[in-house]
Structure 1
Amino acid sequence: MEENRYKQETKELPLREIIEQYTRYWYLFILGVIVALVLAFIYLRYTTALYQTRATIIIKDEKSASSPMEMAAFSQFGSLLSRFNTSKIDNELAIFNSKRIISKTVEELGLNIKYESVGAIKTSEIYSYIPFKVQYQSFNELGKKVSIPKLFIEVLSNTEYKLEAETQPIDGKYKFGEQVSLPFGQITVLPNLENKENFESFFERTVLVTYRPIENVALDYQGKVVIENEIKSSNVLEMSMLTPVTEKAEDFLDELVSQYNQDAIADRNEIAKNTSKFIDSRLQIITRELDSVERNKEVFKTDNRLTDIQAEAQIILENASEFNKKQFDVGTQLELSKTMIDYMEKSSNAELLPSNIGIQSEEVATSVNNYNQLILYRNKLMQNSTAKNPVVLNVNNQIEQMRASILGSLQNSSNALKIAMKDLNIQESTINSKIAQVPAKEKIFRGIERQQSIKEQLYLFLLQQREEASITLAATSPKAKVVDNAYSTKSPVSPKRPLIYLGSLIAGLLIPFMGIYGANLLNTKVSSRRDVERHLTKTPIIGEIPKIKRSDSDLIQHNDRSIMAEAYRILRTNLQYLFINKLEENDKGKTLIVTSTIKGEGKTFVAFNLALTLALTGKKVVLVGADIRNPQLQRYLPEHLKNNKGLTEYIVYGDMKVEDVILQSESNENLSIVLSGAIPPNPAELLMQKRTTTFVDELKKQFDYIIMDTAPSMLVTDTILINKLADITLYVVRAGFTDKRLLDFPQDAIDDGRLANVAMVLNNVNLNNFGYGNKYGYAYSREERSLLKRILNK
């Protein structure tokens, strides 16, 4: 049961220890959080906030012949028209985000000139109220070749300002409204006195004015504005952009929609104007022809003295009324087809074709509308590219194909109408035979009236089409309907304050955590008793010696109540329990060997202070310098005792007695010291002599405790040779110095039997790692008040 409880505790220890590794450095986490939050505050204070501005519009559908029957009539253009219709919204998106439209918007709003208020740390753009307006009147040759320098303008009064330039030697005072000649050109500064209070607030303040070419600014806005068709099945467009100045972005998006509508209206007006022009030219021709027919009728009736000859052939004419109507319709369509063919043969590929002139062929009407759309699309492409552009060449080929197709359709239609007219003429001869009895004059008069009627109907029809074109020109509505005018978010979208503060808080905690974790990960040294217990699970740790400050004494003093003195008292007490288990005679002294793995772990320091602690109890103690290779005991002795004979002389010279090498310590009357003596050439062989055993036996008779400061066990074999002479072997490990991998050596030596009766002593322990936690220490007699109690003076 005890074993199970021990295993459960050892499993729980690592988690508590890991937590303690971080909580003991709580001040680093607090400092990290404070520094991170301060940096986040500075970042947010001087970083320009960005707001999102949005606007929503709907692209209106225009009337187009797109019924299944009409599309079937253009099977030869199927792929072209399909691409044209499906890419309609994409085309509108391209127009919206085109450099041409955005450049017009920038020019209209004057966005190529930026005004900024210069602060001590941060420069902010001003837009809602600008105290003055800089007009760049003209640029000389230098201004056209190099970039225009930034101007620093300081308002001195209602009539005067100070002007400086960033890169050019410009510095002077000028009057508002006067033309100023500068190295790059001429400017005029006009004050904005609409709000005098706001204008005066800019006195003694510097405003930075930056001029950029409109094309460069348009390219910047092309990258900033985002236009999307979020719902693919609709014509709704969503426009948005991120900006630090919301009023400026709202004006830009609203003006962008306005410029788009003006461009679309201009396209429609161009078609209407060309149609109206065509109708006017035809009206002039029809008017002359109608006048000629009417004069012929008047002359004919005058010469033949005719009044109402229709009454005589009323019955025959009533039967022929339906025929006349057909003949009239065919004649009208034939005349319109000839007129359209003449116009196309005389016009160029760059001109628009007249639409809606009355041709009844749906094929021709649809082809003309699509042809005009391609002409407009080609003209827009030519504004931003050359005639050799592959896209322009492709569109020109499509225009040529469609123009040829329209001309062929008109010719086919004209031929069909001629055949129909020929058939009607044949039928007319039949009717004429029926009215053979009608005088020849009536037949001539009937022909004249028929010509007059055709011309009059055609004249009225053209007048109607001209009025419709005029109405279309006057009543053009915007193509983009505004759903939501431009509006901006109330809170900035970047930087996000809660996210920045949260990130800084996490960073403030994470950086110390990673630093501590990295330090622990790279640290291979022993730091606490738990590191020793993990490697030496069955070897007891009977003492922990705290790390001393440089100002503290290395040796324990009389009536010493320091933490180090208490640690040695605990070590002394734990030794008593170990000696209880020994079966030696009570009248003999007890022998201790103090060793370590390598040099520098503090075995001599532990041995000397342990000897002093035992001597303070009134016991007779002798400290033997058994490290005859690298003696260190002399460091704690006065100068006049450092050169005395010691252990090596006793072993070598058989006539020497133990009393000859024993020195009385000045630190305590109960403490005696035996030095190492001269360093021999064969230390191991010397310690194997029988005189070594005799020396220890003699000391046991005179002293209660014999403490032997031996050599490091892993480096030399000296300690292994004399280990059999000791009752207890104290194995010293130094925290922060001894590598954890070196703990495998004492475990192997114990398992092999090279070292017996071993007890561990952990030296140089940091107070944070002392014992089983830094909550518990040796300051038992003096209670430390908490910080809160000291603040409250309680």
Structure 2
Amino acid sequence: MKTNLQEEVNQQGKGDSSINILDILKYLLFHWKWFLLSIWIFGTYYYYQYSKTPFIYSQSETVMIKTPANTQATARLTRTNSSYNSISVASEILQLKSKELMRQTIERINADKSYTVEKGLRTYELYKHSPVQVEVRGKVGSDSYAFTITPVDDEMVLLSAWTKENQEPAIKIPLNKYVKTPVGEILVKPTIQYVPSSFGDDIRVTKYTQGDMVGYFMGNLNITQLEDDASLLRITAEDANPDRAADLITTLISVYNEVNLRDKNQIAINTADFIRDRLTIMEDELGIVESDIERLRTANQGIDVNSAGQMYVSDVRQFQTEGARVETDIKLAQMMREYLKTQGEGGDLIPNNTGLVDASVENQIAEYNYTLLRRNRLSDGNTANPVIQDLDRALSAMRGNIDRAVDNALTGLDIKRNNIFREERQARSKALQIPEKQRAMLSVERQQKVKEELYLYLLNKREENALNQAMTEDNIRIIDPASGSRQPIYPNMLRKVAMGVAIGGMLPAVILLLLLMLDTGVRGRRDIEDTISVPFLGEIPLVKDRSKRKAVSGDILVSRTGRDALTEAFRILRTNISFMTKNEVAPKVITLTSFGAGVGKTFSALNLSTTLSFLDKKVAILDLDLRKGTLSSRMEVNYGRGVSHYLADASLTLEDIRYESGVADNLDFYPIGAIAPNPVELLLGSRLDQLLLELRNRYDYVVVDGVPVGVVADATVVDRVSDLTLFIVRAGRMDKRQLPEIEKLYKTGKLSHLAIVLNGLKLGGPRYGYGYGYGYGYGYGYGYGYGLKKKKRKGFFQRLLPKKR
């Protein structure tokens, strides 16, 4: 049977429920106006953002960190300072990024003060090219202010546009003279750019706090090491003015070198003070010893007693020489220990390269001084920093190691001295004939020799320290001065607008695809056939503007010779109905029903009846909606006697309720007559069966406009006299989740010979999936139903909005 064939086709159609990518593209292209509007909006907005965003420039400078490996050796009179040998590139980078260094740099180049002008939508930073420079008396780095300067002539400028909190009026002040203003005493000085062409230009002067500018420039400063094992650095700064970015980098290096030189020279200064104090003490002690020698020689009346013990004196002198050398070393060590106990406390630097102690102790002192300088640079008064606390503990441990090293050196020298003295006493025991005065003389001479050697040694170290202080070098050397392109690196117009166009293109696509994914309405034939197995008979297109069509009569829009999409659709439906045979008998009584009102059931009944009459068949239109009589009101025959009277009064005949449609001679209309108070009881009576029997005998087709299923019980009551039930589904109004309910009606047989007709299909709209097209390219069609109102013509922007489902 034809019906079984149709069901088989429907079952096969369920196997392919995917949406082709080409269908998605067609769906998106249908909404091209949305894309065009979105691209225009976002493209314009991003171009506006580009037009108002200040230009950003980039400047770079290449520098080299000086280390023993890349610096030419300098002839030094003393050992190379250990802090110079232990330079770390990573440590230098961290110091260059310190906030204090940046603060001094900003203060030196006045980078916390901005001079800007507006040209079009964009603001430009003038920096040193400003026609005026401003000084405000009494302001410090933490203060801020803002106002506008407008050059008036060669002698006067206008100050206005104070801050929002300060709404003082504009004032005119002379150049090169302090004037009291709402901001403070202001001095406006002209520059070489102060020319007549600048008169009338508004120059915005803004003073930012140094803390804010430190954060701004630190965020725009980038320091990178060119190679992992190289001491070359590239310093890059980004700013709204290329000259200010270049000055920032150059001044930053200068300030850094000055700070490091000051730290290095501090050690030399402390060493010079120590040597000067010791020389003063040595001069006094040497004078005392020389006075003792003079007194002893005077007391001996110039007699040489050395010849008497010449034999033994040679041995004694040898031990004296060794003892003197050991005594010198002990004195030096004692001087260092005394300094450490008295003047070396309180976090001061320890003198280095003095020769007072051996080399190992001096290396420890040099490491201690370097660590102390590092700790002082990083502390900045913040002793709660974990790094500062670690350095404090390290300094304490290093100080203890230095004290122990000096004590151990003294202990070793004492042992060596005692051994020498013991040997000397053994030699002297053999020279008992040498007078006691000779021994005293030798003792005084020995003291003289020790102090004289120490004095000469200190004089030599003082000169060496002065030379080293004069030869101190910078830590950083500039390889390539600050330079860069005069073209801004940001914003990029092409990239900015392209981003806006990309967003404008993607946003509608995302929204439309989301709407497509979230849309649960029935949009086409495929939505029905992929879900249920109920036979599908046809698609009725939607007419967008009924006023442009010429109706045959009322809502009947089909014609016998028409070639429009609507007429073709009903012709296809008429043909498909002929295939819906039951027991090889074509249906005569065709009932139209739906789930609710407003799906075009009455409209479909009128046009289907008319289309059937075009076959020169006798057709009757029967209105069985006894509760509302929509079909009767559409045909304007809602008066006189009708079906309700026929069902209630057995004396009435079929001719009493028949009305000519006026559309065709073979098309008759049977209205409801009056609204019945008891429609179910009337429909359950035998008069309905009698009515349909007479209609079957008289007409070839009987089209029944029924009532919605599930709303009232009339539909299932009328079904007993129906050969074919057409279930009208309105595209875009029925939820796909309701389709299983139709399948249930089909499977359970509650409605006889059920089939589906899709009404209100938008032929000109986005189509995805398959379906029977009409091949005419028309966008016409129509659909009517309960509760529809005539819509007003929409404007352009209203037509752009998505239609409600």
Does the TM-score normalized on the shorter chain lie above 0.5? yes
Among 41, 50, 53, the alignment partner of 1:47 is 53
- Identify the range of structure 1 (258-267 vs 367-376) with the bigger mean alpha-carbon deviation: 367-376
- Report the equivalent of 1:791: none
Could you tell me whether the CA contact under 8 Å between 1:265 and 1:476 is conserved in 2?
A: yes
**1:427 CA displacement:** 2.9
**1:474 CA displacement:** 0.8
Q: Secondary structure at the match of 1:622?
A: strand
- Report the equivalent of 1:778: 776
Change (3 A) 1:575 1:373: closer
What pairs with 1:131-530 in structure 2 (closer than 5 Å)? 131-139=131-139, 148-167=144-163, 168=166, 169=168, 171-193=170-192, 202-218=198-214, 220-222=216-218, 225=221, 242-290=238-286, 322-347=318-343, 349-350=345-346, 351-373=348-370, 375-376=372-373, 379-380=376-377, 383-385=380-382, 406=402, 409-410=405-406, 413-414=409-410, 416-432=412-428, 450-482=446-478, 503-530=499-526
- Report the equivalent of 2:80: none
- Report the equivalent of 1:36: 42
**1:305 CA displacement:** 7.8
**1:662 CA displacement:** 0.9
Distance (Å, rounded) in 2 between the aligned partners of 1:93 and 1:454: 49
- Identify the range of structure 1 (181-190 vs 601-610) with the bigger mean alpha-carbon deviation: 181-190
Could you tell me whether the CA contact under 8 Å between 2:14 and 2:531 is conserved in 1?
A: no
- Identify the range of structure 1 (24-33 vs 259-268) with the bigger mean alpha-carbon deviation: 24-33
Among 708, 712, 724, the alignment partner of 1:712 is 708
- Report the equivalent of 2:627: 629
Could you tell me whether the CA contact under 8 Å between 2:133 and 2:189 is conserved in 1?
A: yes
**1:150 CA displacement:** 0.4
Q: Does 1:609 align with 2:610?
A: no
Distance (Å, rounded) in 2 between the aligned partners of 1:518 and 1:151: 51
**Amino acid aligned to 1:621:** V
- Report the equivalent of 1:26: 32
Could you tell me whether the CA contact under 8 Å between 2:521 and 2:734 is conserved in 1?
A: yes
**1:152 CA displacement:** 0.6
**Amino acid aligned to 2:30:** R
Could you tell me whether the CA contact under 8 Å between 2:47 and 2:493 is conserved in 1?
A: no
Distance (Å, rounded) in 2 between the aligned partners of 1:18 and 1:699: 49
What count of residue pairs does the alignment treat as equivalent? 747
**1:218 CA displacement:** 3.5
What pairs with 1:562-577 in structure 2 (closer than 5 Å)? 562-577=564-579
Could you tell me whether the CA contact under 8 Å between 2:42 and 2:501 is conserved in 1?
A: yes
Change (3 A) 1:60 1:310: farther
- Identify the range of structure 1 (505-514 vs 172-181) with the bigger mean alpha-carbon deviation: 505-514
Could you tell me whether the CA contact under 8 Å between 2:591 and 2:725 is conserved in 1?
A: yes
Cα-to-partner distance string for 1:408-431 (whole Å, 9 max, x where unaligned): 654554455445434433433444
**1:764 CA displacement:** 1.4
**1:153 CA displacement:** 0.9
Q: Secondary structure at the match of 2:198?
A: coil
Distance (Å, rounded) in 2 between the aligned partners of 1:689 and 1:390: 99
Change (3 A) 1:740 1:165: closer
**Amino acid aligned to 1:174:** I
Distance (Å, rounded) in 1 between the aligned partners of 2:754 and 2:225: 83
Distance (Å, rounded) in 1 between the aligned partners of 2:311 and 2:358: 35
- Report the equivalent of 1:556: 557
- Identify the range of structure 1 (526-535 vs 216-225) with the bigger mean alpha-carbon deviation: 216-225
Q: Secondary structure at the match of 2:280?
A: helix
- Report the equivalent of 1:113: 113
Change (3 A) 1:662 1:458: same
Change (3 A) 1:175 1:612: same
Cα-to-partner distance string for 1:116-166 (whole Å, 9 max, x where unaligned): 223453333223523222122335xxx99x954302112234443222241
Distance (Å, rounded) in 2 between the aligned partners of 1:557 and 1:393: 96
Among 630, 637, 643, the alignment partner of 2:639 is 643
Change (3 A) 1:389 1:717: closer
Distance (Å, rounded) in 2 between the aligned partners of 1:201 and 1:307: 102
Change (3 A) 1:564 1:399: closer
- Report the equivalent of 1:81: none
Q: Secondary structure at the match of 1:15?
A: coil
**1:338 CA displacement:** 3.6
Distance (Å, rounded) in 2 between the aligned partners of 1:730 and 1:396: 94
Q: Secondary structure at the match of 1:173?
A: strand
Could you tell me whether the CA contact under 8 Å between 1:749 and 1:755 is conserved in 2?
A: yes
Cα-to-partner distance string for 1:343-402 (whole Å, 9 max, x where unaligned): 44542623433222212434542443344345545654675247x999878877776776
Q: Secondary structure at the match of 1:630?
A: coil
**1:546 CA displacement:** 2.7
What pairs with 1:696-775 in structure 2 (closer than 5 Å)? 696-767=692-763, 768=765, 772=770
**Amino acid aligned to 1:368:** I
- Report the equivalent of 1:68: none
Cα-to-partner distance string for 1:29-57 (whole Å, 9 max, x where unaligned): 34333433333333333334555666665
Cα-to-partner distance string for 1:203-239 (whole Å, 9 max, x where unaligned): 3221111223435533554565466789898877775
Distance (Å, rounded) in 1 between the aligned partners of 2:371 and 2:379: 12
- Report the equivalent of 1:76: none
- Identify the range of structure 1 (610-619 vs 646-655) with the bigger mean alpha-carbon deviation: 610-619
Distance (Å, rounded) in 1 between the aligned partners of 2:670 and 2:27: 43
The percentage of aligned residue pairs carrying the same residue is 28
- Identify the range of structure 1 (570-579 vs 230-239) with the bigger mean alpha-carbon deviation: 230-239
Which protein has greater RCO, CA pairs closer than 8 Å, 6+ apart? 2
Change (3 A) 1:41 1:120: closer
**Amino acid aligned to 2:329:** Q
Change (3 A) 1:775 1:652: closer
**Amino acid aligned to 2:574:** R
Distance (Å, rounded) in 2 between the aligned partners of 1:8 and 1:498: 52
Could you tell me whether the CA contact under 8 Å between 2:13 and 2:530 is conserved in 1?
A: no
**1:86 CA displacement:** 11
Q: Secondary structure at the match of 1:469?
A: helix
- Identify the range of structure 1 (119-128 vs 262-271) with the bigger mean alpha-carbon deviation: 119-128
Q: Secondary structure at the match of 2:538?
A: strand
Could you tell me whether the CA contact under 8 Å between 1:528 and 1:769 is conserved in 2?
A: no
- Consecutive unaligned residues in structure 2, runs of 5 or more: 70-84, 781-805
Could you tell me whether the CA contact under 8 Å between 2:730 and 2:758 is conserved in 1?
A: yes
**1:645 CA displacement:** 0.8
Q: Secondary structure at the match of 1:629?
A: coil
Change (3 A) 1:662 1:112: same
**Amino acid aligned to 1:203:** F
- Report the equivalent of 2:794: none
Distance (Å, rounded) in 2 between the aligned partners of 1:447 and 1:571: 141
Could you tell me whether the CA contact under 8 Å between 1:644 and 1:675 is conserved in 2?
A: no
- Consecutive unaligned residues in structure 1, runs of 5 or more: 64-84, 783-794
**Amino acid aligned to 2:270:** N
- Identify the range of structure 1 (25-34 vs 482-491) with the bigger mean alpha-carbon deviation: 482-491
- Identify the range of structure 1 (628-637 vs 284-293) with the bigger mean alpha-carbon deviation: 284-293
Cα-to-partner distance string for 1:428-477 (whole Å, 9 max, x where unaligned): 34444566777888766655654444344323221221111101211111
